[in-house]
C-alpha cells in the first residue's frame, strides 16, 4: 500500500507527543519506509496487572492507532511475563507478583476493552512469554550483564527508594531489561509509552544496539491527570473514567473535572478534530462558560468509546435533571440493610451496601461531606444510624441507594 507524505505522517504522529528520542530518527525511518514500502514496526506493551482500562490507558493506544492508520504495523505486546514481575516505575515499593492465571484472565479483558479504541484485528498481538519463558538461567545472566547497578539507580524511583532506605528487590532490576528484550524480539522500529516509561524505552535502544539492530525511536505521551486535576488517573485513587463505565457514569465523572483539564481531555481522550479544539480554546479564552464545553466533552467521551449519540444525549439530560435542577433520579437501585445490623455506623453502611469501595474510603467520603440520608448531611463516620425502608442514601455526587430493610 502507499503511504501519505512523511510530513503529513509526522503531523499526525507527533500530535500530543511530549518527548521523542529522536524526531530526526523518526523522520529518517519514515522516509526509508516510504521508499522501500516496508511499514514500520511500532510496539506498545501493556501489562495486564488489572482487569479494567481507564481513559489514561487509552493515550498510547490511540497513538498506536495513529501509526496503524498511517499504514504501519502495530505490535501490541501483552506483558504476561513482565506483569508477573510488576513494573516498578513510579513505585515506592515493589508491586505484588501475579500468577500466570491472573495475567491471562486480565489480558483477555484488556483486549476486549482495547477494541473500543482501535481495531485489534489489524494488530500483531504477541505475548512476551513467547521469548521470555524459554530463557535459561545462562540467558538471564547474559541479559543482566548488559546493565549495571549504577545505571539502574539512575532511575528516579529506584534512586529515591535507595536514598530512603526502602528495599529494592533484584527482580525489579530485571523489568526494564525484560521490556527491552521485547523490543529486540519483535525488532521494533518505534516504541510507545508514557513519559514515566522513558528509562525502560531507552533500555530497549541499548539492548537493540547490543543485538546488532537499529535502535528504536522512543515516542512518549503525557501522563494525564485524573478527575482531581492533580494526581495521575488511577483506579486506586478513584479519580478515573473507566472504559467499562456506563454512559451516565462517564458523563457524570467528566462533569466533575476542573476547567483546566477540558482541553487536555478533548486532545487526548476524544476524536474531536484539532480545529474544533482550537475553536473551543478561543471561546473559553473569550470568556464563554466552560460548563458548555464540559458537556460537549462528556458527550464526546461517550461516543468515542462505543456509546451512541442518543446515549450521550440521554446521559446529559439525566445529569442536568439531577444536578442542575437538584432532582433525585427515578431509577435509584435498592440497597438491602439487615434489620439485625441496626443501628449501623455510617462508614460501615456505605461499605456494606457498595456505595463506597471500602470502609476507609467511606470514612474519607463522609468526612468530606459527601454522604446524605434523605438530604441530611452525615459528617461523622462513626455516627450510629437507625434507618427505615424507603430512605434515600447519597454517596458522593452520583451514587444513590434506596434503603430496603431485610
From start to end of 302-370, where are the E strands? 334-337, 344-345
Q: pLDDT averaged over the chain? A: 90
Per residue in 189-223, pLDDT (tens digit) is 999 999 999 999 999 999 999 999 999 999 999 99
Q: What is the pLDDT of residue 404?
A: 83
Question: What stretch(es) of the chain map to CATH 3.10.290.10?
Answer: 334-405
Residue 241 has pLDDT above 90, yes or no: yes
Q: Is 352 left (phi over 0), alpha (psi -120 to 50) or beta?
A: alpha
Burial class of residue 381 in the structure, from the number of CB atoms within 10 Å of its CB (0-12 exposed, 13-18 middle, 19+ buried): buried
pLDDT at 116 over 80: yes
What number is the average pLDDT over the span 82-93?
A: 64
Domain 247-324, what fold? Tyrosyl-Transfer RNA Synthetase (1.10.240)
Measured CA to CA, the distance from residue 347 to residue 334 in angstroms comes to 18
For the record, the C-alpha cell of 291 comes out as 460548563
Per-residue pLDDT at 186: 98
pLDDT of 2 reads 65
Give the per-residue pLDDT at 40: 98
For the cut 80, the answer to whether the pLDDT of residue 392 exceeds it is yes
pLDDT at position 88, please? Answer: 62
As a dihedral over the C-alpha atoms of residue 185, residue 187, residue 188, residue 189, rounded to 10 degrees, the angle is: 170
**Predicted TM-score (pTM) of this structure:** 0.76
Residues of the chain with CATH 1.10.240.10: 247-324
- Distance, CA of 47 to CA of 70 (rounded, Å): 25
- Tens digits of per-residue pLDDT, 267-312? 999 999 999 999 999 999 999 999 999 999 999 999 999 899 999 9
pLDDT band at 334 (very low <50, low <70, confident <90, very high): confident
Residue numbers belonging to the annotated binding site for ATP: 235
Tell me the binding residues: 235
pLDDT score of 318: 87
Contact call for residues 277 and 265 (beta carbons, < 8 A): no
Q: pLDDT digit string (tens) for 305-331?
A: 989 999 999 999 988 887 766 666 767
Residue that has been written with the C-alpha cell 546493565 in this structure: 147
Reply yes or no: is the peptide bond before residue 343 cis, omega within 30 of 0: yes
H helix count then E strand count, the chain: 18, 13
Query: Does the structure show a pLDDT above 70 at 102?
Result: yes
Q: How confident is the model at residue 235 (pLDDT cuts 50, 70, 90)?
A: confident
- Residue intervals of the chain classified under CATH 3.40.50.620 are 6-221
Q: φ, ψ for residue 179 (rounded to 5)?
A: -65, -40
| CA distance readout (Å), 39 to 22, 30, 394 | 18, 8, 53
Is residue 102 within 8 Å of residue 150, measured between CB atoms?
A: no
List the strands of the sheet with 399-405, edge to edge. 334-337, 399-405, 392-395, 371-373, 376-377
On the question of pLDDT at 90 being above 60, the answer is: no
Which grid cell sits at 30?
519514515
Q: What is the pLDDT of residues 140-184, one digit of tens each?
A: 999 999 999 999 998 888 899 999 999 998 888 999 999 999 999
Decide if pLDDT at 405 tops 90.
Answer: no
Per-residue cell: 109 = 479483558
Query: Residue 392 — φ and ψ, nearest 5°?
Result: -105, 120
**6-221: CATH number:** 3.40.50.620
- Which tens digit of pLDDT belongs to each residue from 341-358? 889 999 999 999 999 999
Give the Cα-Cα-Cα angle 396, 398, 399 (nearest 5 degrees).
75
Q: Average the pLDDT over 19-43 and give the result.
A: 97
Enter the CATH code of domain 334-405: 3.10.290.10
* pLDDT tens digits, 242-269: 998 899 989 989 998 999 999 999 999 9
Amino acid at each position: 500500500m502507499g503511504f501519505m507524505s512523511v510530513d503529513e505522517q509526522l503531523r499526525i504522529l507527533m500530535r500530543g507527543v511530549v518527548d521523542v528520542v529522536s524526531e530526526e530518527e523518526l523522520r529518517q525511518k519514515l522516509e526509508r519506509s516510504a521508499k522501500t514500502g516496508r511499514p514500520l514496526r511500532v510496539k506498545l506493551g501493556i501489562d495486564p496487572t488489572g482487569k479494567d482500562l481507564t481513559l489514561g490507558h487509552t493515550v498510547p493506544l490511540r497513538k498506536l492507532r495513529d501509526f496503524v492508520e498511517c499504514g504501519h504495523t502495530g505490535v501490541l505486546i501483552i506483558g504476561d511475563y513482565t506483569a508477573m514481575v510488576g513494573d516498578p516505575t513510579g513505585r515506592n515499593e515493589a508491586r505484588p507478583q501475579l500468577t500466570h492465571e491472573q495475567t491471562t484472565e486480565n489480558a483477555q479483558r484488556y483486549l476486549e476493552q482495547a477494541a473500543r479504541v482501535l481495531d485489534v484485528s489489524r494488530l500483531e498481538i504477541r505475548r512476551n512469554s513467547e521469548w521470555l519463558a524459554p530463557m535459561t538461567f545462562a540467558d538471564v545472566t547474559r541479559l543482566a550483564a548488559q546493565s549495571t547497578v549504577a545505571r539502574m539507580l539512575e532511575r528516579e524511583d529506584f534512586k529515591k527508594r535507595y536514598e530512603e532506605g526502602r528495599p529494592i528487590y533484584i527482580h525489579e532490576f530485571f523489568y526494564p531489561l525484560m521490556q527491552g528484550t521485547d523490543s529486540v524480539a519483535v525488532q521494533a522500529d518505534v516504541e510507545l509509552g508514557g513519559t514515566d516509561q522513558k528509562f525502560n524505552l531507552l533500555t530497549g535502544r541499548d539492548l537493540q544496539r547490543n543485538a546488532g539492530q537499529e535502535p528504536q525511536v522512543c515516542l512518549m505521551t503525557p501522563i494525564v491527570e485524573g478527575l482531581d486535576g492533580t494526581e495521575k488517573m488511577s483506579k486506586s485513587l478513584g479519580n478515573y473514567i473507566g472504559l467499562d463505565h456506563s454512559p451516565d457514569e462517564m458523563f457524570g465523572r467528566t462533569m466533575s473535572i476542573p476547567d483546566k483539564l477540558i482541553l487536555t481531555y478533548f486532545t487526548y481522550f476524544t476524536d474531536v478534530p484539532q480545529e474544533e479544539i482550537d475553536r473551543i480554546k478561543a471561546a473559553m479564552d473569550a470568556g464563554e462558560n466552560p460548563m458548555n464545553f464540559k458537556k460537549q466533552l462528556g458527550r464526546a467521551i461517550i461516543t468515542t468509546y462505543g456509546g451512541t449519540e442518543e446515549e450521550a444525549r440521554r446521559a446529559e439530560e439525566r445529569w442536568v435533571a439531577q444536578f442542575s435542577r437538584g432532582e433525585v433520579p427515578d431509577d435509584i437501585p435498592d440497597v438491602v440493610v439487615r434489620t439485625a445490623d441496626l443501628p449501623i455506623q455510617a462508614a460501615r453502611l456505605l461499605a456494606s451496601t457498595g456505595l463506597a469501595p471500602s470502609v476507609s474510603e467511606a470514612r474519607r467520603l463522609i468526612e468530606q461531606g459527601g454522604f446524605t440520608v434523605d438530604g441530611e448531611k452525615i459528617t461523622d463516620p462513626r455516627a450510629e444510624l437507625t434507618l427505615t425502608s424507603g430512605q434515600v442514601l447519597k454517596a458522593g455526587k452520583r451514587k444513590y441507594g434506596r434503603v430496603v430493610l431485610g
